[in-house]
Amino acid sequence: MDSRLIYIGFTLAQLSEKIIDGLKHSPMIAHKLGPNLVMKHYWYETYFPYGPPQEYARKGLAIGSNFVALAEETIQYEQYHRWIQTLLPVGTLKSIYSFYDVLVGYQIRKLKAALGMDVTLEPGTKAYKLDRLLQLVQAHQEAKKSDGPKIRKSHGPMSSVSDPLPSSDTQSDTHQSVAPQRSGRGNSSDSLDDPTQPKWYMPNALFSSASTVAERTVATMVFATTIAGNKTTTPTEPPRGHFTMHGVCQVGALRGAMMLDVLAFVDAKTHQFHTLQVTPRGSKPWKQTPRGR
């Protein structure tokens, strides 16, 4: 039998074992699929590079103990990629734009409503989803307000409806027992101790004076989601002496199955994996029940 077939078969078995071993340590996968995780199906393609990986030259000043000179350094693509992302943070700029875009959209709708224009939103659009999210945040804040601290009525033997007002000494003691409020974000409604306020949002930003707390909360949620989605992935070019294995696999457990995208860089000499990326594509339970809209 050809040694290359044995090598590829050994690599496939090792790759499947590493994927299963990594997924077993994921709490999300364990909660979603259940125990007894096994590899059910897989489809991998092997890609060999046509040449060595790209290299980039970085010029700068070399400062030594007794000299300063112009120098040129050769760096790999991964280091070059991180360097470019540091100098030009495109993901952060897009996230900031999405934050202000949400706030401006809410103010434009308010202006149209004040002018008597039609502000009806079409279902499925981005503005419609943001409006639904705003309603959920407002309902959550109203529920927190209604569940706030309430005054307890004493039903002890000494209590009475016709009790007189407390004396001046009692009033002074009461005023002294009240702790001073901590300074919040500009006023008492934004106090950090207020349970009705969200845990975190971007304060003191443009349009903040015209936006409500719920609108700023939604904008901050969009900001966090955008910056999480704009994270750059590892470059798809394998290092020197490696080849690429790319494909899909299906893992199954007691409660369901999940499809995964797999990308791996394999060392041709040591049979070791330099990079292994596993991205969930979709999942399905073994038992499905109808759900209403």
**pLDDT digits over 250-269, tens only?**
999 998 999 999 998 888 88
Question: What's residue 233's pLDDT?
Answer: 58
Q: At 246, is the secondary structure helix, strand, or coil?
A: strand
With beta carbons less than 8 A apart as the criterion, state whether 202 and 195 touch: no
Question: What's residue 183's pLDDT?
Answer: 43
Among residues 259, 283, 273, the alpha carbon closest in space to that of 43 is found at 259
**Exposed/middle/buried for 211, CB within 10 Å: 0-12, 13-18, 19+?**
buried
User: CA dist 219 to 90, 105, 153, 224, Å?
Assistant: 19, 10, 41, 9
Question: What's residue 77's pLDDT?
Answer: 75
pLDDT > 90 fraction of the chain, expressed in percent and rounded: 4
Q: Who has greater pLDDT, 35 or 55?
A: 35
| Rounded distance between C-alpha atoms, residue 260 and residue 282, angstroms | 7
Banded pLDDT at 157 (limits 50, 70, 90) = very low
* Per-residue model confidence as pLDDT tens digits over 161-198: 444 444 444 444 444 444 444 444 444 444 444 555 54
Domain boundaries, the chain: 3-52+237-285, 74-145+187-234
* Per-residue model confidence as pLDDT tens digits over 190-240: 444 455 554 545 544 444 556 788 888 888 888 888 888 777 655 567 888
- Mean of the pLDDT values across residues 47-58? 83
With beta carbons less than 8 A apart as the criterion, state whether 282 and 255 touch: no
Question: What's residue 138's pLDDT?
Answer: 86
Q: How far apart are the first and last CA of the chain?
A: 57
| Rounded distance between C-alpha atoms, residue 172 and residue 165, angstroms | 13
| Rounded distance between C-alpha atoms, residue 153 and residue 213, angstroms | 33
Residue type, 276: L
Of 13-27, 29-43, 148-162, 217-231, the least confident: 148-162
To the question of pTM greater than 0.75 for the whole model, the response is no
The position carrying tokens 């074992």 is 17
Residue type, 174: T
Give the DSSP H/E element, type plus range, for residue 77.
helix 77-87
Q: Taking 80 as the threshold, does the pLDDT of residue 150 lie above it?
A: no
User: CA dist 84 to 49, 75, 81, 89, 289, Å?
Assistant: 24, 12, 5, 8, 49
With beta carbons less than 8 A apart as the criterion, state whether 184 and 190 touch: yes
Task: Report the chain's mean pLDDT, rounded to a whole number.
Answer: 75
The CA-CA-CA angle for residues 237, 79, 264, to 5°, reads 30
Here the tokens at position 226 are 């955008």
Dihedrals phi, psi of 51, to nearest 5 degrees: -165, 180
* Per-residue model confidence as pLDDT tens digits over 105-136: 888 888 888 888 888 888 888 888 888 888 89
| Rounded distance between C-alpha atoms, residue 187 and residue 179, angstroms | 17
Question: What's residue 9's pLDDT?
Answer: 61
| Residues ≥6 apart with Cβ < 8 Å to 198 | 137, 141, 213, 217, 220
